[in-house]
Amino acid sequence: MRGANLANRHKHPPYFSFHEIADYQVLRDEWGMNAIRFLMTWSAIEPERDVYDAAYLDEVAKRLEWAREAGLLVVLDMHQDVYGEGFDGDGAPRWTCDESRYEDFVRRSPWFVNYTNENVIACFDELWASDALQAHYVEAWRRVAERVSDNPAVIGFDVINEPHWGSSETSEFEGNALSPFYEKVVEGVRSAAPEWLAFLEPSVSRNLGVPTKLGPFTFDNVAYAPHSYNALAEAGNGFDPTQRDLLIKNLKALSAEARALNAALWIGEYGGREDHPGITEYMDAQYDGAAAVAASTMYWAYDRDDSYGLLRPDGSEKPALLDVLVRPYPKRVAGDPISYEFDEATDTFTATWLPDDTIDAPTVLAVPLRRYPNGYDVACDGCDFEAGDGELVITALSASSADGLITITLTAQ
């Protein structure tokens, strides 16, 4: 999967952004993407204790139908930042923590330093310790699944965004609190949507470079769902191209962690600002790092803003972002994907995979028209292929190398 988050505006009332069905279609038809990470919040679903907002879920269902019509896959994300709305963040409803915690809170900048506030920490501690609160969280997710599980575009659920450890030791949090929490939520969701994939994030400490302590899960059909950001770029300094190798190395480490969990690797967030130095090199490194380990990626975010959004406030595109993000990639592979790469200097794309003769379906590459407006040439020994609308459909007839691998190359005309 290669796509984008929808969207930052989903975090706060009215919990939806500008997107109409045509905007969903832009993702696939113009930018060649095939998936979205659709943000929801617990506050929107259960604004008061035991009161569930059916009208909100109906609006979610309507937008997920737009995604289906646009040919997009959907991963639902229960988002949180700084615990919840009581701290000027998003996620948990106010009723989930004592009101005195909100009254004593003083917001600071930048926003993420508020995770160190003792009141925010106390609310996280309550969530991880309270069976009753977790039961409410599970029920909120179950109601989502019950409402939209009949939509085939929805393939899975990201249980919680960037879970924070509260006052726990970071080395113990994932094993003692987060993993049991995941067990409860996955069981609850799959009671209504048994086929959904579970997209499970490590502790937010993984963003700081701390390797995950998550262990293999007792259930299957899991995607490991970390995020990929560069610390200096996140601090507002832009991307230093000398950090490229470190970023790619981290993505390789995330891939190793996914394999240890017997999970696929899905990067739920990455992104940057068009006006920051090194943005092209930054997004290029993200693409190359993910390609080297055949990871799925979701850009943050499909918004209209002066920040990380793909569009400017007036709705026009940000060329510095889209020119580097809109690239070919393998959408479906009839076998095991090995890697893919793109040379922006020559617009040359190469993909390599190990074919599986038991799979009848073809391999499908996304080839966005924006990247190849004048067409492209295809080189692939032992392949039959057919170009379609923004796609290349390939039937592998025989391996093109002694190690059994298939390699295909696209070059601009």
Cβ proximity of 353 and 406 under 8 Å: yes
Same domain, yes or no: 384 and 268:
no
Segment 88-144, tens digit of pLDDT: 999 999 999 999 999 999 999 999 999 999 999 999 999 999 999 999 999 999 999
Does the pLDDT at position 400 exceed 80?
no
pLDDT value for 396: 72
Same domain, yes or no: 66 and 177:
yes
Which residue segment(s) compose the domain that 393 sits in?
349-412
Same domain, yes or no: 368 and 317:
no
Amino acid identity for residue 215 in this structure: G
User: What is d(CA 59, CA 40) in angstroms, rounded to the nearest whole number?
Assistant: 11
Segment 317-334, tens digit of pLDDT: 999 999 999 999 999 999
Query: CB-based contacts of 111: which residues, under 8 Å, 6+ apart?
Result: 81, 82, 89
Is the four-CA dihedral 93, 97, 98, 101 of positive or negative sign? negative
Domain count of the chain?
2
Amino acid identity for residue 216 in this structure: P
**Helices 279-292, 244-260: crossing angle, 10 deg rounding:** 30
Amino acid identity for residue 225 in this structure: A
Q: Of 355, 351, 339, 364, nearest to 396 (Cα)?
A: 355
Which of 326, 357, 381 delimits the end of a domain?
326
pLDDT value for 397: 74
Same domain, yes or no: 302 and 391:
no
Residue position matching structure tokens 């699944």? 145
Answer whether residue 96 is part of any domain. Answer: yes
**Which pTM value belongs to this model?**
0.97
Same domain, yes or no: 250 and 314:
yes
Same domain, yes or no: 83 and 18:
yes
Segment 138-171, tens digit of pLDDT: 999 999 999 999 999 999 999 999 999 999 999 9
Same domain, yes or no: 364 and 240:
no
Segment 281-307, tens digit of pLDDT: 999 999 999 999 999 999 999 999 999
Which of 291, 326, 361 delimits the end of a domain?
326
CATH number at 132 reads 3.20.20.80
Same domain, yes or no: 320 and 360:
no
Answer whether residue 47 is part of any domain. Answer: yes
Answer whether residue 229 is part of any domain. Answer: yes
Answer whether residue 258 is part of any domain. Answer: yes
Which letter, b or e, does each residue of 320-332 get, where b requires 16 or more Cβ atoms within 10 Å of its Cβ?
bbbbbbbbbbbbb
pLDDT value for 116: 97
User: What is d(CA 12, CA 405) in angstroms, rounded to the nearest whole number?
Assistant: 48
Give the three-state DSSP class for 47.
coil
pLDDT value for 401: 63
DSSP code of 130?
-
Amino acid identity for residue 264 in this structure: A
- As beta bridge partners, residue 51 has 48
